[in-house]
Amino acid sequence: MPSYVLNEYCLKPFFPSASGTLKLTPVGLFLLMLFNIFLALAFASHIRCWLSDAGKTPKIEVDEQNPNLCNVCEQSKPKRSHHCSVCKVCVHRLDHHCVWVNNCVGALNQKFFILFLFYTALSSALSLVIIALTLFNAYGLKFKRIDVVGIFAVVFVLMESILFLFFTGDFLMEQLESVRENQTCVESYQFKRGVCQDPVKNFEDVFGKTFWLWLFPVKPDISVDFLEDIILEKQPNKEKKS
């Protein structure tokens, strides 16, 4: 729907050609193509995150180095794995279970989730640019007839774009911080984190070592170390009650 509204009510009528006729111009065509590329990448990332294995923990023998035991799965689990009550499995580096993608976000599909947020935020930002140009050009063109449906549709997409830009943008910043610090959302509540290493290495563990593929929803060339260690953080002192 946003793509249709931007095309019919923003790009076509408000980017006039040199002859004065109202038709899609090179500027409008470029913006339309760019918007739909971002939208397609967002959908592709969403589907990959939805259908991909988030990082289901394999069965690991109980030993002194890995004494952790999942009471639900009744099997040994790595230190950085957590049980998802929705998916009914233990997921390595489980960040959270996302209802948007109907899947967990873990070690093997966090890249797709971040790209989904990234391209959704870009699509929303570009929508605001297109609508701003629409309003700017609308004041320069003296239309005798007001399209009430078009005005309502554009205002709706404007509000939707602002909402999704701030919503996905906030989630995106949290995910990037999580990757940089090598700490999942679940671990932050438990005052735990992965071992300290170079931030670039942390991003390679999520997006892969091939940098030019980081922005594409393709499977990253990563190998998950299910036995990686974990660090316990110092918990903040609770304020004494007066």
pLDDT of residue 69: 80
The model carries a pTM of 0.84
Q: How far is CA 75 from CA 53, 147, 199, in A?
A: 19, 63, 32
Annotated catalytic residues are 98
pLDDT of residue 241: 44
Query: pLDDT category, 20, cuts 50, 70, 90?
Result: very low
Residue 195 or 157, more confident: 195
pLDDT of residue 18: 45
Percent share of the chain, pLDDT over 90? 48
Q: How far is CA 80 from CA 62, 68, 85, 182, 216, in A?
A: 15, 10, 16, 11, 27
Q: What is the mean pLDDT of residues 154-163?
A: 84
Domain residue spans in the chain? 2-52+107-232
**How distant is the alpha carbon of residue 155 from its chain centre?**
25
Q: What is the mean pLDDT of residues 64-74?
A: 72
